[in-house]
Amino acid sequence: MKSIADKKKKENIIEYVLYMYRMEDLLRAYQFEMEDVNAYVLGHKNIDKKDKEETQVWLSNMVNQMEEQGIKEKGHLDDVQEIVGQLAKIHWQLLKEDPDYIAIYRKTQAHLLKLIADTKEGIPEHEIQVFINTLYGVLLNKLNGRKIPLEIMDAAASFGDVLACINIAYMKDFLTTDK
């Protein structure tokens, strides 16, 4: 699991963020009981001993971070949200200088406004968080076998297009600066 996160972080930062959200929820589902995670999650994984030990340490560290940051019930790790903030900065930069990106982004507007209008809890800080939350919601619904409304799938598709562009820009910067 840790090796998957490491690979995603190097290859597709959007997938990394979504994966980390899933790991946070996994730990919540097991109420932060590492014995249960070890027995029911890592015990069923067909991974070698070294990877299993690294993953146990990694998940234990995540538990500690989530407790320290007060996000045991909801919320996301600060370092993951810092990446989301970086993605938002890339988004704003692309809006200033890339006409192709602007054209792709415009396709999200109707979906974005509807989702913001329908939001019952606090509105996210920026659009990129809305895009990521939507994709994560779709992922969770698919994992749980729930039907996803067509308008949400359409929104997720347009948001995914924007995030793909942002990912390319992020990874290009990542590869040239070795973050």
Give the pLDDT score at 20: 97
**Whether residue 143 sits in one domain with residue 96:** yes
* d(C-alpha 153, C-alpha 166), whole Å: 20
What length does the chain have?
179
User: Which of 108, 128, 106, 124 is closest to 116 using CA atoms?
Assistant: 124
pLDDT digits (tens, 9 = 90+) for 90-147: 999 999 999 999 999 999 999 998 888 888 777 778 899 999 999 999 999 999 899 9
Task: Please check whether residue 169 lies inside any domain of the structure.
Answer: yes
Pick from 48, 8, 28: nearest CA to 171: 8
Quick check: is 28 in a domain?
A: yes
Q: For residue 14, what are the domain limits?
A: 2-68
Same domain, 141 and 86: yes
Q: Report whether 116 contacts 130 (CB < 8 A).
A: yes
Which amino acid type is present at position 49?
Answer: K
Q: Of 12, 47, 68, at which residue does a domain stop?
A: 68
Angle separating helix axes 150-177 and 127-143, nearest 10 degrees? 120
Same domain for 93 and 168: yes
Whether the pLDDT of residue 45 is over 70: the answer is no
Q: What pTM was estimated for this model as a whole?
A: 0.91
Q: Hey, what amino acid is at 50?
A: K
Shared-domain flag, residues 110 and 48: no
Helix (H, G, I), strand (E, B) or coil at 47: coil
Which of 68, 87, 110 corresponds to the end of one domain?
68
The verdict on 168 and 90 lying in the same domain is yes
Instruction: Confirm whether 73 is domain-assigned.
Output: no
Residue 114: inside a domain: yes
Same domain, 84 and 139: yes
Cα gap 99→109, rounded to integer Å: 16
Tell me the Ramachandran region of residue 145: left when phi exceeds 0, alpha when psi lies from -120 to 50, beta otherwise.
left
Residue 178 has pLDDT above 70, yes or no: no
Looking at the domain assignment, is residue 64 inside a domain? yes
- Please tell me the total count of domains within the chain: 2
What amino acid is encoded at 26 in this protein?
L
One-letter amino acid at 122 equals: G
**Domain C-terminal end among 16, 44, 68:** 68
